[in-house]
Structure 1
Amino acid sequence: MNLPVLLSFGLYLLLMLGIGIYFYRITHDLSDYILGGRGLPPSVAALSAGASDLSGWALMGLPGAIFSGGLSQAWIAVWTLVGVYLNWTLVAERLRVFTEAAGNALTVPDYLEARFEDRSRVLRTLSSVVMLVFFTFYVSAGLVGGAVLFEGLFEIDYRVALWLGALVIVGYTFLGGFLAASWTDLVQGLMMAASLCAVAAMTAMALFGDGAAAPAAAQDVAPIGGMLEGVTFLGMLSLAGWAIGYCGQPHVVVRFMAVRKRKDIKVSRRIALLWSAITMAAAVAVGVLGYYWFGGELGDGLTDSERVFITLSQIMLNPWVAGFILAGVLAAIMSTVDSQLLVCSSAIAEDIYRGLIRPKASQQELVWLSRASVIGIALLATVMGSERDSSILGLVSYAWGGFGAAFGPVILLSLFWRGMTRNGAIAGLMVGALSVAIWKPLSGGPLGIFDMFEVVPGFLFALIAVVIVSRMSTEPAASVCFDRLMKHWHREQA
């Protein structure tokens, strides 16, 4: 076990727990715990949204996809940037204003219930259940990524690594809630970008510098495939799913709801786009440079394409620096898992417990139930992750597709369409979630249509379902609520 790497990791984990303890002292009610009292500065909101989104797949999954699939996989990064821009432009500002005007809604199910005046609680219940199902898979994927990292670095048993990672993440999330998660995301986002840039720069210098120290495998390697090589129309449409699914990611859009002021949204958008562009470009560069460094093939030097970033960092950097760089990988994983755990806990405490079971529950009761929910969901996800049988990118893409298809059309249309109804929202949630669940196991079909990223057909089917069902039903209360929210929107705009 490498002592400098171990000490660097230890210092980083202590810093994260320290942040959790600090924010534990200033978390007083449920609004503080699950939404930070709507007080996030622009930079924290931007990097928290970005870090909780990109996660470990930006450092492990994307470079691995570039290494094994060529530059055509870089379209994932391109469409991700498109999604970041559209999400901050179309969704962020309206959602920030609407959720506060709609009875200070603290969660996405809370907002949807208020937006459509749903007295039956069906919409709140359904959206909470969809969240819990897909987030459990998402959290499990993150914990698997962390366990793979611990296992490879410290030569410890996979299951021990899995439980160790879960313990640290649950520790600071349990204590500090949303504020701890958001401020640790700021640190983790900066570390992610710095880690990728440092490894890309050092590998480039080693490959192409005057004192080139590249291994023999790098001397005779076929050029990596270009961005358009092997790309079909259906393939490009599938990759576009990374953009259209953005507006349905609850752990990302909740950051919009927590921004301090409406006017801060534009500043946050610029920061988010800049950070995402740097991070994505560096991740692609690591994949390309890793391809040339290792001769384009897996072997003794690299046994798993998703470990290309980790392996290069160990080769290129001083052990002390490598320790902090590799902590960046853990940072990416932690920043996503903590956000997902919080959304799950808020769904249980705010949307199910207070919304359906005990409406008059005290703030302290709800905060402690949220903390207990963090532990419960983490335990379930850890047990699910005990066996590794899927790639990190594959697990993330499935959960991403589920959220994008189920919540994307519903959230987007709820912000812009006066005629959308409660029944339309329910239909959209059900059709989107079921489409992804049914589409995922299928393969082949005419022109390979069933190999398409499931978020694309799921989003389309859910969008159609929302429109058709809303047209077939009339709910004046939902239209009146939209008019009231728009008045608030224009008043704040003035």
Structure 2
Amino acid sequence: MLGVGVWAGWRGRRRKEGDGGETQPDSEDFMVAGRSFNGVIGTLTMTATFVGGAFINGTAEAVYTAGSGLLWAQAPFGLALSLLIGGVFFAKKLRSAGFTTLFDPFQQKFGRFMCVLLYIPSVLSEIFYSSTILAALGTTLSVILELDLRISILISTAVAVLYTLLGGLYSVAYTDVLQLILIFIGLWLCIPFAMTHRAVASITADTSWLGRWDSRLAAVWVDLTLMMALGSPAIQPYVQRVLAARSAREARLFSVFGCFGCLLLAAPPVLIGAIGASTDWNQTALRVPPLNDTDKIAPLVIQYLTPTAVSVVGLGTVSAAVMSSVDSSILGAASVFGRNIYQGILRPKASEVEVVWLVRFSVVIIGACAALVALTSHTIIGLWYLSSELVYVILLPQVVCVLFVRFSNSYGSLAGFAVGLVLRIAAGEPLLNMAPFVRYPYYSDELGQLFPFRTLAMLASLVSMVIISGMFHVGFQRGVLPSKLDVFHCYRNECDLSASTRDADMTLFSLNYNRSCELDLTSNETTGTENVSNVPD
């Protein structure tokens, strides 16, 4: 993987030189690969980004766990649906606008303060997600090779960070292609050996792995499914691949074909979980069922139900899955910090070389944070859900409004952020030892919150953004609110214009953080060209 990453970074630099570009690093080239991805590379890297260690180990864990089963393994199918939704509704609009990161529209429309505030849940989400992937590899290595868990996590983090440093999105994308091939071949190689092991009963004879429906948990199931199905367009790794497409049309195809890729690669971990649930572990070298190590079920199946040579291939498969997602997540969070926080706010005059090196430094820091969380985590799927919640509750409403609600502004953004955060915290979080201080309807002392509080918080955040944005938009546009109250400088210049010269339909953005501007998301559907027009002072 390291060799492929180095080669990909070198290839990207040669391509740029061949096009007559500068030999020095360019931040856009580093972050979105010069917008050069074709349909094949884009589809494979999009699929590999979502099919990671957490995808494989977490899905197998959900299917194997008693009382859960396939019915509660919403992540693979939810992520596939999320890619389809992203492709249909978001990909073309994002690519046509010519952004470099997901936070470009936030910074242009909502200004400095909200950009920094929204980056906090975004980077936390990527750290939690990366930690789940690293923990998945750590458990696999500790089971199969009997390596110390800490050493396993640190080595895998170092490799992913190193080749990401060298080539940026070029290295990440080309390693993704190799990783996806290894995942597909390796997992399907393990399935027949594990399924025909003498200790494994027919998975069709005992269907407990399908899960058991509990009507009391129906709302929870819907809540988690919606969270998985709607979250992807609000995460930087997804958007980064969309923005790396050569055109808006290809960006849309990446997502649609990536949806089918996720569904195809969901089958092996589902079968592994079913095999684990159908195994008489007393007939294996393990001797006892892994009741307290459900997060290790995938490596345990590979280790104890397949020949040694096959288990080695399986180990390489899970390692590849880990690398294919952790590098994307770390690079995504680092890119936003370098471009939108450092260059956009802290040091606007930073050179391209300086930004690239700052992104590289951020890759190391974020990778280290992810490794630290992985070393202290106890459940893969739990952290996976927690990272998804931050995106679903807080970031998704912001993305919807910044792209589709023309009058949205900083005031509505702040209100939506606060409402979503408060309603989510009110429900409590067992992983963080946070007890609920609000008991939503149908609360159970045994089962906890049974109300779809995540979706409630997301919808409340979205509605709050629309209402508050509309109120301030009308207030400032019609002169009801004086310009001196425009503390975010969204409308101040416009309020100083006479009513006769004001365009009532103008959408005001805070471009360059102090000026009113309009973002024109027009596009040429064939070429994916973009046009951003600014309103002068």
Instruction: Give the alignment's TM-score, normalised by structure 2.
Output: 0.78
Using the TM superposition, give the Cα deviation of residue 359 of structure 1 relative to its aligned residue in structure 2, in angstroms.
0.9
> Does 2:41 match 1:44?
yes
**Is the CA contact 1:406–1:432 (under 8 Å) kept in the aligned structure 2?**
yes
Query: In the alignment, which residue of structure 1 is the partner of 2:32?
Result: 35
Q: Alignment partner of 1:419: what SS?
A: coil
Q: In structure 2, how many angstroms separate the alpha carbons of the residues matched to 1:55 and 1:310?
A: 14
Q: Alignment partner of 2:376: what SS?
A: coil
Task: Give 1:173's aligned amino acid.
Answer: T
Deviation string 1:128-171 (CA, Å, 9 cap, x unpaired) is: 23322332333333222222222222222222222111111111
Query: In the alignment, which residue of structure 2 is the partner of 1:404?
Result: 392
Relative CO higher for 1 or 2, CA cutoff 8 Å, sep ≥ 6?
Answer: 1
Task: Give 1:356's aligned amino acid.
Answer: I
Q: In structure 2, how many angstroms separate the alpha carbons of the residues matched to 1:216 and 1:52?
A: 32
Query: In the alignment, which residue of structure 1 is the partner of 2:520?
Result: 485
Q: In structure 2, how many angstroms separate the alpha carbons of the residues matched to 1:469 and 1:369?
A: 36
- Normalized per residue, the structure richer in helix is 1
> What are the within-5 Å matches in structure 2 for residues 138-149 of structure 1?
138-149=129-140
Using the TM superposition, give the Cα deviation of residue 352 of structure 1 relative to its aligned residue in structure 2, in angstroms.
1.5
Q: In structure 2, how many angstroms separate the alpha carbons of the residues matched to 1:124 and 1:297?
A: 56
2:222 to 237, 241, 247: 237
Query: In the alignment, which residue of structure 2 is the partner of 1:310?
Result: 299
Q: Which has the larger radius of gyration?
A: 2
Task: Give 1:263's aligned amino acid.
Answer: R
Segment drifting more, 13-22 vs 374-383: 13-22
Query: In the alignment, which residue of structure 1 is the partner of 2:324?
Result: 335
Q: In structure 2, how many angstroms separate the alpha carbons of the residues matched to 1:434 and 1:134?
A: 17
> What are the within-5 Å matches in structure 2 for residues 362-401 of structure 1?
362-388=351-377, 390-401=378-389
**Is the CA contact 2:72–2:221 (under 8 Å) kept in the aligned structure 1?**
no
> Does 2:224 match 1:189?
no
Q: Alignment partner of 2:208: what SS?
A: coil
Q: In structure 2, how many angstroms separate the alpha carbons of the residues matched to 1:409 and 1:270?
A: 22
Structure-2 change in CA distance of 1:168 and 1:21 (3 Å) = farther
1:155 to 146, 163, 173: 146
Q: In structure 2, how many angstroms separate the alpha carbons of the residues matched to 1:186 and 1:142?
A: 18
> What are the within-5 Å matches in structure 2 for residues 220-299 of structure 1?
222-224=206-208, 226=210, 229-231=213-215, 232-240=217-225, 241-294=227-280
**Is the CA contact 1:181–1:335 (under 8 Å) kept in the aligned structure 2?**
yes
Using the TM superposition, give the Cα deviation of residue 74 of structure 1 relative to its aligned residue in structure 2, in angstroms.
3.8
Segment drifting more, 17-26 vs 137-146: 17-26
Structure-2 change in CA distance of 1:275 and 1:364 (3 Å) = same
Structure-2 change in CA distance of 1:161 and 1:408 (3 Å) = same
**Is the CA contact 1:249–1:403 (under 8 Å) kept in the aligned structure 2?**
yes
Matched residue count: 467
Q: Alignment partner of 1:80: what SS?
A: helix
Segment drifting more, 58-67 vs 46-55: 46-55
1:108 to 102, 108, 112: 102
Q: In structure 2, how many angstroms separate the alpha carbons of the residues matched to 1:131 and 1:45?
A: 23
Using the TM superposition, give the Cα deviation of residue 272 of structure 1 relative to its aligned residue in structure 2, in angstroms.
0.9
> What is the root-mean-square deviation of aligned Cα atoms in Å?
3.2
**Is the CA contact 2:416–2:462 (under 8 Å) kept in the aligned structure 1?**
yes
**Is the CA contact 1:248–1:405 (under 8 Å) kept in the aligned structure 2?**
no
Segment drifting more, 404-413 vs 67-76: 67-76
Q: In structure 2, how many angstroms separate the alpha carbons of the residues matched to 1:75 and 1:257?
A: 27
**Is the CA contact 2:132–2:374 (under 8 Å) kept in the aligned structure 1?**
yes
Structure-2 change in CA distance of 1:491 and 1:148 (3 Å) = closer
Query: In the alignment, which residue of structure 1 is the partner of 2:478?
Result: none
Q: Alignment partner of 1:386: what SS?
A: helix
Using the TM superposition, give the Cα deviation of residue 291 of structure 1 relative to its aligned residue in structure 2, in angstroms.
1.4
Task: Give 1:113's aligned amino acid.
Answer: Q
Q: Alignment partner of 2:52: what SS?
A: helix
Task: Give 2:365's aligned amino acid.
Answer: G
Structure-2 change in CA distance of 1:48 and 1:457 (3 Å) = farther
Using the TM superposition, give the Cα deviation of residue 484 of structure 1 relative to its aligned residue in structure 2, in angstroms.
5.3
**Is the CA contact 2:189–2:310 (under 8 Å) kept in the aligned structure 1?**
no
Structure-2 change in CA distance of 1:338 and 1:225 (3 Å) = closer
Gaps of 5+ in 2: 17-23, 474-489, 495-505, 510-516, 530-537
**Is the CA contact 2:231–2:392 (under 8 Å) kept in the aligned structure 1?**
yes
Structure-2 change in CA distance of 1:252 and 1:378 (3 Å) = same
Deviation string 1:317-362 (CA, Å, 9 cap, x unpaired) is: 4544433332221222222211121122122211111111211111
Instruction: Give the alignment's TM-score, normalised by structure 1.
Output: 0.84
Q: Alignment partner of 1:136: what SS?
A: helix
> Does 2:412 match 1:424?
yes
Task: Give 1:300's aligned amino acid.
Answer: R
Structure-2 change in CA distance of 1:236 and 1:438 (3 Å) = same
**Is the CA contact 1:195–1:325 (under 8 Å) kept in the aligned structure 2?**
yes
Q: In structure 2, how many angstroms separate the alpha carbons of the residues matched to 1:370 and 1:355?
A: 13
